[in-house]
Amino acid sequence: MPPRMQRPTARQQLQDDASASRRAPTALLDSWTRPVVRGVLPQVDGGTRPAKATVGERVKIEADAFIDGHDALWCEVRYRHESSRRWVSDRMEASVDDHWYGSLPIETTGRYQFMVRARIDAFARWRDELRAWADAGQDLSTHLATGATLIEAAAAGARAAERRLLEELALAVRQAPRGLDSLVPAGRMARLREGPNSGDATLREILLSPRLASLMGPLADPSTKADSATYEVMAVLEKARFSTWYEMFPRSASASGHGTFADVRGHLDYVEGMGFDVLYLPPIHPIGLTARKGPNGTPAAGSDDVGSPWAIGAKEGGHTSVHPQLGTLADFRDLLDAAASRGIDVAIDLAFQASPDHPWVREHPSWFRQRPDGTIRYAENPPKRYEDIYPFDFESPDWRDLWTALLDVVRFWIDQGVKVFRVDNPHTKPFAFWEWLLGVVLAEAPDTIFLSEAFTRPRVMEHLARIGFTQSYTYFTWRTSKWEIETYFTELTKSELAYFFRPNLWPNTPDILSEELQTGGRAAFISRLVLAATLSSNYGIYGPAFELQEHVPRSSGSEEYLRSEKYELRSWDIESPTSLRRFIALVNRIRRDHNALQYNDSLRFHWTDNEALIAYTKARALDTDQDLVLTVVNLDHNNVQSGWVGLDLEEIGLRSDVPYIAHDLLSDARYVWNGKSNFVQLDPANVPCHIFSLSQPARGNGDVP
């Protein structure tokens, strides 16, 4: 049985309660119903915002549904796409504690509405009583007559083919000469029996068959229904759920001098070869000269210093222009086409800020916050000063014109062919702005992806996801111990966050060189890559710094790189024999080959007897089997660590009485494991990780070789 998610608050449950007592007493007398439906999942903010999904998946729907007394219920998910007026119903299954499970198939992008409906299933209770009376040897004549009446009532609401079938069955029940042992001739009713649809069947076989129950359930008396509130799911394309990002500075794509879009095209084989499907470029716009930063962010720049790409705008143009040394808009579109032919989306940076040289500073000075002396305030994050950047004033008297201009920036790049945006520091702009902009853009271009780069407080980060951002940066970079990783990712995948927050894990960024990567050597880069690639279905790296294991900080205690690429051109030896490119390609191929790693909902951590070892599985049902992947990582980058890994076999779909194969997808080694506890040893001098594919023969297919 799938794990239950965090329950809604009592306040949210009352909103779902089909018989909530806040209705006026007289209304209750007119419209009361016995079933109760509450606690529907998924829901976000009490149902005021949509949950998220992607095309091709089935969204798990859950609810508590129950009734007074001993009557049985028939529960179903009812759903429709925003483009349709017709509701579709799918049966739900119940657990022993009145908790029901169903699903909503996502077939196209857009919004889906869904609700949960419960009805009294009088026939199900009748069947249970029939079985009990029959087992006790009681006279069944009266009970069979009651059943015939129930079947006739259901027939009245059935479609033509089912109506004739049920009327025929009701007549057979009324005329049964030997009760349940009476034979029903083969024919139309043969479809109701289990097994081969040929030969006569006893009335017992037909009345107690699951097929008849499935036919009768949807025909339960509609006057007894109770409906939950209606909720929404926002569906987008698969890449929102499963993507692999590679970040590179286009100006460093040349072996000598300033790189161009043509040079980036020359790197596409390299990016594709490592298995990335999103190529993210930091800002590609003209860079201001005023207060330009020098190497390592120093305030004094020389005449040859290229400045920070995030200081957007110069005499050549602003947010809808490209840096002339990179090429032209036509060159950029050529890059998009070349990448698309390889299955790669080019993502660009949305950095809504300006250099002092941006045309808007001259044309729209009211869009910027001014000091009392009339000068424009530059950006500050004490003790840091960004004299080369002016933040926009989103609350200026002309805020409507500013907001519209920024929306037009997004539309402009979508018109060029961009479908993916990484958004710089969205938490420093109003939530209302983003909710408005994202709502407009996603209505016009629903296949657009927005990645929120919001390293900020948890509730702020989460709210940005609620209001429309497709994916989100996380605190993964700073979660390093076993306890921190397990706690954080349990929260991300087993709470309400799972309904709207899509984590995108980055071991490094141009802004963040973590202490682990500074001090952990090659083993740290490998283990952090494997953790990012297997804990989340979305992850990315900043390269070539990552695969070449760039690890020297600007100063002790700093997370800034020495000779940061944010402020100067870098030349990278991507053919270096020490590069991790082949290992990265292997990990990304494993991600593509194993459907389990393309989702987050099945993530389950497992016991180890060594705190330096972390173990977790992901699973996904296949047509005839399941894809089950176990990852084990040594979190100690300096020492060999070994220990026992304890798996909850039955919960992950393995039998405890049969051996199973653990196939290490990194080394291609195969091991025969028995029982829930098995031994592992990981050496950071080699590969400090296992990514196992676990498999077991089906029952009756012999033993594991």
Three-state SS string over 413-446 comes to HHHHCCCEEEEECHHHCCHHHHHHHHHHHHHHCC
Does residue 120 contact residue 71 with C-beta atoms inside 8 Å?
yes
3-state secondary structure of 579: coil
Radius of gyration of the chain from its Cα atoms, rounded to whole angstroms: 31
Find out whether 661 and 672 touch, Cβ atoms under 8 Å: yes
- The C-alpha atoms of residue 62 and residue 101 are separated, in whole angstroms, by 5
**C-alpha span between 621 and 653 (Å, rounded):** 10
Residues with Cβ within 8 Å of residue 234, at least 6 apart in sequence: 50, 51, 52, 53, 110, 111, 442
Residues 637-658: b if buried by 16+ CB within 10 A, e if exposed: beeebebebebebeebebeeeb
> Which residues neighbour 480 within 8 Å (Cβ) at sequence distance 6 or greater?
516, 635
Which of 424, 516, 627, 664 is flagged as catalytic?
424
Q: CB neighbours of 593 closer than 8 A, spacing ≥ 6?
A: none
- Whole-number Å distance between alpha carbons of 135 and 137: 5
**Are β-strands 99-105 and 201-202 bridged in parallel, bridged antiparallel, or unpaired?**
unpaired
Is 155:162 a contact under the CB 8 Å cutoff?
Answer: yes
Distances (CA, A) of 153 to 170, 211, 216, 222, 702: 10, 18, 10, 11, 50
The region, left, alpha or beta by phi > 0 then psi within -120 to 50, assigned to residue 425 is left
Residue 151: C-alpha distances to residues 76, 129, 322 (Å): 20, 15, 72
Residue 37, classed as helix, strand or coil, is strand
Q: 415 an active-site residue?
A: no
Q: How many residues make up the chain in this entry?
A: 705
Q: What is the largest CA-CA distance in the chain?
A: 104
Helix/strand/coil for 301? coil
- Are residues 16 and 46 in contact, defined by beta-carbon separation less than 8 angstroms? no
- Can you read off the two tokens belonging to residue 631? 């990852």
The pair phi, psi for residue 229, each rounded to 5°, is -65, 165
Q: 266 to each of 253, 262, 270, 333, 514, how far by Cα in Å? A: 8, 6, 8, 15, 30
Question: Angle CA(542)–CA(548)–CA(550) in degrees, nearest 5?
Answer: 70
Q: Residue 194: which residues within 8 A CB-CB, separation 6 or more?
A: 205, 209, 210, 211
Active site residue 424: yes
Among 453, 496, 636, 664, the one annotated catalytic: 453
Nearest to 296 by CA among 570, 544, 573, 508: 570
Identify which of 198, 219, 242 has the alpha carbon closest to the alpha carbon of residue 55: 242
Choose among 228, 235, 236, 234: nearest CA to 46.
Answer: 228
Contact 246/540 with Cβ under 8 angstroms?
yes
- Three-state secondary-structure class, residue 48: coil
Distance CA 482, CA 95 (A): 33
Identify the H or E element spanning 139.
none
368 neighbors 361 (Cβ within 8 angstroms)? yes
- Taking alpha carbons only, the member of 405, 474, 475, 471 closest to residue 433 is 405
Q: Which residues are catalytic?
A: 424, 453
